[in-house]
């Protein structure tokens, strides 16, 4: 293990760099201090962990053309060396199974092992999308049950299961809106996106061919209803709104927003990434929402990706349901489930805008999500939302006296606690310290940093989402570390500006890393 600390700060110096024998970081952890060379640096070309007999005959003429002209440029390692290398690498990777993952931009909650066990059952894990329909009736029933739950929880008329991610779901919803308006001979050009919406919303609207116009936020971080109403007109196709929004706040005037958009002939798209905060408590359909994607990994605890594409089902109102993409599962009289494909569209679904992708979705995600839903039930899902909101407010009120909380005065937050660096980099108590210093300091404390510099409406934003799966004890450790880091910044501890000190790599130039990434290993030139 190599020490990567070159700043002079050591654990025994204590918080703030003062010489305090035996002092610890606030969490008692020292980040991820493992150092591991690249596999190319560990192994050597020509080395192998298996002994091969010398070749005693020339290969047959038909195979001779496949002989390599030179050895492959791959490192040679024994099996133990290889296993140890990847095991050591795995210990550098922070995961929800190690501790809190407080990313506010993406709900990172515990993935129950029950979900994984069910998804690995042979009847689910071994099926293939090209199997004959008659051999996958159980899969269709699983999809239909998930669809039933999603429409019931959202108060919507239909659901498209095919979208593979949240942004894919956003595109699906906008394509439904476009198809609905074109069916009325009323093609429109503009989509309104509030400042408090997720950053993918304007990108998706632009990709769908719409012109995007922003709607400002009020001083309390919510949509300016007056500005929205003033902009509505015959060219506005709809609004893309995130509720709860990216400031972690409930859009209290959502019904008024929907009514105004509908009166102007538009549709309401709701970004459902934050549905975890209201699941079982609020049905978006009751608030006038026409389309909403649901990130199964955020609300229903499937893994991000899950060994393949993720899943972002889109629930649709009765007005948009006829335009949903193919294929989809439907229940016939008597409860039998079948898959509607293109050959059925003429009779059953003539206004569909087509396909989002080749097949009918990510079966592994459907299975895990339905398992999670059935294991909780309606009452359990309601408690999920309540506990997520409780945990976020606990974090907010535990830190608002040491970190600037721009919207704390307006009342409780929802699932996310939002802070800023107003006391650090803007002439406050510790000139020159910033959000990045707190985030990098958290790595030394043994935590993954929170989301930083998002949402953009708050300078130096720090967005913390604890989720419902964190215990009070776990949250107390995170809170203690953040309070300690804030105290170090206020005390002018210069060592914080060079954190992390106990990670495999010191602070990187993130701009250069993004613009000039080094993605390929090359043999060093010159003498060793």
pLDDT in tens, 269-313: 999 999 999 999 999 999 999 999 999 999 999 987 665 678 999
Is residue 217 included in any domain, yes or no?
yes
Phi, psi values for residue 439, rounded to 5°: -65, -45
Q: Considering the chain, what is the average pLDDT of its residues?
A: 87
Of 401-415, 430-444, 512-526, give the lowest mean pLDDT range. 512-526
pLDDT in tens, 391-413: 999 999 999 999 999 999 989 99
Is residue 445 included in any domain, yes or no?
no
Is residue 124 included in any domain, yes or no?
yes
Given a cut of 80, whether residue 150 has pLDDT beyond it is yes
- Please spell the DSSP secondary structure of 338-392, one letter per residue: EEE-HHHHHHH-TT---BSSSSS--HHHHHHHHHHHHHHHHHHHHHHHHHHHHHH
Of 16-30, 224-238, 376-390, give the lowest mean pLDDT range. 16-30
Percent of the chain with pLDDT over 90: 59
Average of pLDDT values for 68-74?
A: 81
d(CA 329, CA 203): 30
Q: Give bridge partners of residue 242 from the DSSP assignment.
A: 271
Instruction: State the Cα angle at 285 between 377 and 379, rounded to 5°.
Output: 15
Containing structural domain, residue 306:
114-370
Kindly indicate the confidence band of residue 429, based on its pLDDT and cuts at 50, 70 and 90. Answer: very low
Q: How far does CA 395 lie from the centroid of its chain? A: 20
pLDDT of residue 528: 54
Is residue 470 included in any domain, yes or no?
no
pLDDT of residue 216: 94
Phi, psi values for residue 281, rounded to 5°: -110, -40
pLDDT in tens, 201-227: 999 999 999 999 999 999 999 999 999
Q: Does the N-terminal peptide bond of residue 455 adopt cis geometry, omega within 30 degrees of 0?
A: yes
Phi, psi values for residue 480, rounded to 5°: -60, -40
Query: Looking at the whole model, is its pTM more than 0.85?
Result: yes
Is residue 379 included in any domain, yes or no?
no
pLDDT of residue 308: 64
pLDDT in tens, 473-507: 999 999 999 999 999 988 889 999 999 988 878 88
Cβ neighbours of residue 179 closer than 8 Å, sequence gap 6 or more: 323, 351, 352, 353
First to last CA, the chain: 21
Kindly indicate the confidence band of residue 419, based on its pLDDT and cuts at 50, 70 and 90. Answer: very high
d(CA 328, CA 316): 13
Is residue 85 included in any domain, yes or no?
no
Is residue 127 included in any domain, yes or no?
yes
| CATH code, 126 | 3.40.640.10
Given a cut of 60, whether residue 262 has pLDDT beyond it is yes
Greater confidence, 461 or 29? 461
Tokens 């569209």 correspond to what residue? 345
- Looking at the structure of the chain, the number of domains it has is 1
Is residue 341 included in any domain, yes or no?
yes
SS3 of residue 331 by DSSP: strand
């Amino acid at each position: 293990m190599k020490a990567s600390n070159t700043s002079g700060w050591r654990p025994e110096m204590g918080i703030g760099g003062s010489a305090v024998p035996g002092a610890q970081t606030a969490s008692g952890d020292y980040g991820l201090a493992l150092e591991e060379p690249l596999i190319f640096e560990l192994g050597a070309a020509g080395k192998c962990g298996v002994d091969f007999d010398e070749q005693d005959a020339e290969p047959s003429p038909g195979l001779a053309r496949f002989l390599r002209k030179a050895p492959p440029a791959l490192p040679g390692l024994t099996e133990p060396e290889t296993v140890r290398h990847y095991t050591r690498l795995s210990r550098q990777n922070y995961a929800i199974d190690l501790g809190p993952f407080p990313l506010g931009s993406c709900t990172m909650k515990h993935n129950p092992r029950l979900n994984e066990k069910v998804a690995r059952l042979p009847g689910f894990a071994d099926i293939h999308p090209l199997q004959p329909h008659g051999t996958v009736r159980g899969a269709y029933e699983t999809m239909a049950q998930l669809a039933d739950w999603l429409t019931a929880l959202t108060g919507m008329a239909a659901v498209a299961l095919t979208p593979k991610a949240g942004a894919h779901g956003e595109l699906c919803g906008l394509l439904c809106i476009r198809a609905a308006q074109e069916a009325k001979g009323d093609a429109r050009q503009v989509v309104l996106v509030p400042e408090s919406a997720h950053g993918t919303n304007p990108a998706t609207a632009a990709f769908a061919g719409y012109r995007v116009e922003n709607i400002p936020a009020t001083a309390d971080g919510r949509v300016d209803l007056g500005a929205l109403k003033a902009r509505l007109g015959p060219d506005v196709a709809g609004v893309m709104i995130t509720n709860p929004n990216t400031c972690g706040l409930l859009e209290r005037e959502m019904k008024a927003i929907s009514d105004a958009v509908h009166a102007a002939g538009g549709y309401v798209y709701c970004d459902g990434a934050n549905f975890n905060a209201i699941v079982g408590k609020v049905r978006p359909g009751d608030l006038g929402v026409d389309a909403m994607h649901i990130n199964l990994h955020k609300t229903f605890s499937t893994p991000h990706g899950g060994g393949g594409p993720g899943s972002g089902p889109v629930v649709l109102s009765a007005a948009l349901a006829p335009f949903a993409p193919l294929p989809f599962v439907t229940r016939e009289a008597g409860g039998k489930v079948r898959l509607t494909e293109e050959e059925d569209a003429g009779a059953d679904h003539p206004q569909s805008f087509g396909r989002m992708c080749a097949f009918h979705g990510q079966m592994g995600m459907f299975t895990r999500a339905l398992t999670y839903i059935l294991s909780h039930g309606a009452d359990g899902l309601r408690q999920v939302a309540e506990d997520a909101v409780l945990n976020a407010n606990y974090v907010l009120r535990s830190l608002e006296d040491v970190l600037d909380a721009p919207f704390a005065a307006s009342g409780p937050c929802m699932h996310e606690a939002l802070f800023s660096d107003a006391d650090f980099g803007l002439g406050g108590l510790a000139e020159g310290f910033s959000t990045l210093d707190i985030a990098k300091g958290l790595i030394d404390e043994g935590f993954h940093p929170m989301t930083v510099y998002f949402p953009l409406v708050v300078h130096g934003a720090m967005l913390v989402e604890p989720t419902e799966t964190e215990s009070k004890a776990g949250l107390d450790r995170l809170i203690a570390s953040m309070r300690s880091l804030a105290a170090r910044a206020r005390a002018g501890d210069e060592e914080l500006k060079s954190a992390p000190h106990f990670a495999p790599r010191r602070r990187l130039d993130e701009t250069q890393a993004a613009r000039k990434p080094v993605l390929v290993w090359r043999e060093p030139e010159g003498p060793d």
